[in-house]
Amino acid sequence: MSHTSLPPELRLEETALSLGDASLKTRVIVVGIGGATCSGKTTLAKHLRRILPNSIIIHQDDFAPPQELIPMHPVYNVQDWDDPVGAIDWQRLVAFLKYVRQTGNIPGDHRSHDHLNEQKEVPIGDGLAKNWREHFEKAMIEREKRGAEEGERIIWGLLDGFLLYWDPDVISQLDVRIFLRVPHDVLKQRREERHGYHTAEGALWRDPPDYFHQVVYPAYVTAHADSFENGDVERGKPTGKVEGLIVLEPLKAEKGMESIVDSCCEVLNGLFQ
């Protein structure tokens, strides 16, 4: 696959910043953005991608097994796209992340189908995005100017996923670990308002009746219970199972997604200190 045929979020921007001194070492910073289905993960990742120079988005959904290999739920006899054991090809995802870390590039044969899915716009203020963009551009240029000995070219990998903090090998690849927490009832409403999800094969998956209640949410709780005190994914504090987990709650933030983007930029800016 040629560079220009990749979806926009998978391309590194052709800026002077990303075409700097070839002698500089490359540092890849992988930012995990986890949370339940419909919690705003991809929306946040796309806002950060517009702000961070030399950034790419990696969608965990792209690493689901082929549709015919998705297991059946043992109780409800429907395909279970959410159980952490069978929902993701973990070995392929880990190998992919290691490749990105080593090369600073997306493998040429990688294909994403996220752009086929319906995306609801959640805008943020132009001023916030512009100010952070200019700040990161300046900081990264300063870092490159240090020369071949101390300088480095930074590439940001933004990994979003609903099972991001289940597999320890995936967790180990993440430099920053962000988790968006949204209440059950809001997640349910958002999920039911979606028209479906496109699979890698091009098919449209639509949730069967009661799928969120019977399959989606229980699998989410199973995958994250040990990350929060008393297994309480709604209110519990992080247990430390995922080291450095940053829990953000968009519905409690003063300006919603805008506040969440600002908080994330503050965290990422701290990596330059």
CA dihedral for 242, 183, 193, 208, sign (positive or negative): positive
Report which residue type is found at 198: H
Which has the closest alpha carbon to 187: 218, 152, 159, 165? 218
Domain for residue 164, yes or no?
yes
Domain for residue 20, yes or no?
no
| CB within 8 Å of 142: residues ≥ 6 apart | none
Domain for residue 198, yes or no?
yes
Residue 224: in which H helix or E strand, if any?
Answer: helix 217-224
Tell me the sheet residues that pair with 28. Answer: 155
Domain for residue 19, yes or no?
no
**Digit-coded pLDDT (tens) for 211-265:** 999 999 999 999 999 999 999 999 999 999 999 999 999 999 888 999 999 999 9
The enclosing domain of 189 has a CATH number of: 3.40.50.300
pLDDT at position 146 = 76
pLDDT at position 116 = 47
Distance CA 49, CA 57 (A): 7
Number of domains present in the structure of the chain: 1
Domain for residue 112, yes or no?
yes
Which residue range(s) make up the domain with 206? Answer: 26-272
| CB within 8 Å of 105: residues ≥ 6 apart | 12, 99
Domain for residue 9, yes or no?
no
**Digit-coded pLDDT (tens) for 154-167:** 999 999 999 999 99
Which has the closest alpha carbon to 214: 86, 85, 77? 77
Which has the closest alpha carbon to 32: 129, 133, 187, 157? 157
- Reading the chain (273 residues) residue by residue, the pLDDT tens digits are 344 445 555 555 433 344 445 567 889 999 999 999 999 999 999 999 999 999 999 999 999 999 999 999 999 999 999 999 999 999 999 999 999 999 888 888 887 755 545 566 666 888 999 999 999 999 998 888 876 667 788 999 999 999 999 999 999 999 999 999 999 999 999 999 887 777 877 778 889 999 999 999 999 999 999 999 999 999 999 999 999 999 999 999 888 999 999 999 999 999 876
pLDDT at position 115 = 53
pTM (predicted TM-score): 0.88
Domain for residue 7, yes or no?
no
φ, ψ dihedrals at 198, nearest 5° = -85, 135
Share of residues in the chain with pLDDT > 90 (%):
68
Residue carrying structure tokens 């100010």: 131
Domain for residue 17, yes or no?
no
Which has the closest alpha carbon to 267: 121, 105, 136? 136
